[in-house]
Amino acid sequence: MAKPGFRLALFATLLALIVVLLGAYTRLTHAGLGCPDWPGCYGFISVPKSEAQLAHAELHYPDSPVEAHKGWNEMIHRYFAGTLGLLISILAGRAWVNRRHPGQPLKLPLFLLAVVFAQAAFGMWTVTLKLWPQVVTGHLLGGFATLSLLFLLTLRLSGVLPALTVPKRLQYWATAGLLLVIGQIALGGWVSSNYAAVACIDFPTCHGQWLPPADFANGFHLTQHIGPNYLGGQLDSDARTAIHLTHRIGALLVTVVLLGLAWQLKVVGMTRLAGLVLIALGAQITLGISNVLFHLPLPVAVAHNAGGAALLLTMVLVNYHARTSLVRVRQPMIARWRLSPRKHSAAPITIKGETPWRF
């Protein structure tokens, strides 16, 4: 039976997915600086429209002319993100009020609230630091973290516990898969924030070569100076090629590990989860290759972000099933009349208990 707050957590998870995709759409339409200030837009709560508002925007932000479509892309993302923050605040408040109820998660909702505050700060820095790649990537990772933690909270409030015990080796595979997917998402964010998605326009080679010229030192120079403006990126071709190639290598490593994970899931009888892993992985690989071959069409690029989210949530689900603790109980001794007496044994049975992911 679902626990109180389950429906709200589920709705917040769906909203978080929308926020992640809106963020991707904003980034891919080059609308990250559609509003040069934060949290408003040219000093208003919406995009300037009237003559007086446009005059005010031109006076105070002469270097950032109003582009209504980009401004609305950015503000709609902020509106949805603000609504999500409000929902997470409600979840945290309810968790605190019900903190003495058995099975009520408390640390996880409070941690989510802290993540939301951090995300708000990253959202502000994304604008004030003019799309500095380090901040943009951190903001993207924060969005995916919010989504995955909300999904974990939803699972914990669902009242549904996994039915199978699993060997330790599956837990190791599941952990490795989760960490590699997180790392690959971080690389994807670095590709996007440095505008390196089309640094290679062929596949599986890059510029017709298996090992094209690539500048890894500058491509992953994490202490680069701030500003003046990173819209469109500042790295040269070789540095962007290095970033793109690293993302491809990461994808290959993720593929190998997730194929192994799917096999391990099948071995222990979790065939549906194995199939889910393979479907999410196959879809993401297809979308990634399509991005290259079709030169980053907007729908495919946004779908690639959705695929990354789906793969991450799949890994959260696999780890939830693989890491549920065991609680051992004993059957009560039942006296029965028998022609020949014998000793009654208390045979242990194993049931699934609460997940040990106690945030």
DSSP assignment of 268-300, as one string? TT-HHHHHHHHHHHHHHHHHHHHHHHTT--HHH
Catalytic residue (choose from 51, 58, 74, 354): 74
**Amino acid at position 138, single letter:** G
Residue 74 known to be catalytic = yes
pLDDT in tens, 58-75: 999 999 999 999 999 999
How high is the pLDDT of residue 163?
62
pLDDT in tens, 136-182: 999 999 999 999 999 999 999 988 776 667 888 999 999 999 999 99
Q: Distance between CA atoms of 294 and 227, rounded to whole angstroms? A: 31
Higher pLDDT, 104 or 282: 282
- In the chain, the N- to C-terminal Cα span, in Å, equals 21
Query: Taking Cα atoms as reference points, which of 282, 300, 283, 299 lies closest to residue 291?
Result: 300
Which residues on adjacent β-strands are paired with residue 209?
206
Please give the helix or strand (H or E) that residue 327 lies within, else none.
Answer: strand 326-330
* Count of Cβ atoms closer than 10 Å to residue 283 Cβ: 16
Report, as an integer, the average pLDDT of 327-355: 42
- Asked whether the CA dihedral 68, 73, 77, 83 is positive or negative, the reply is positive
* Count of Cβ atoms closer than 10 Å to residue 63 Cβ: 7
pLDDT in tens, 285-312: 999 999 999 999 999 999 999 999 999 9
How high is the pLDDT of residue 232?
86
What is the 3-state composition of the chain as percent helix, strand, coil, each rounded to the nearest 5? 60, 5, 35
Query: Taking Cα atoms as reference points, which of 116, 103, 176 lies closest to residue 147?
Result: 116
| Predicted structure pTM score | 0.88
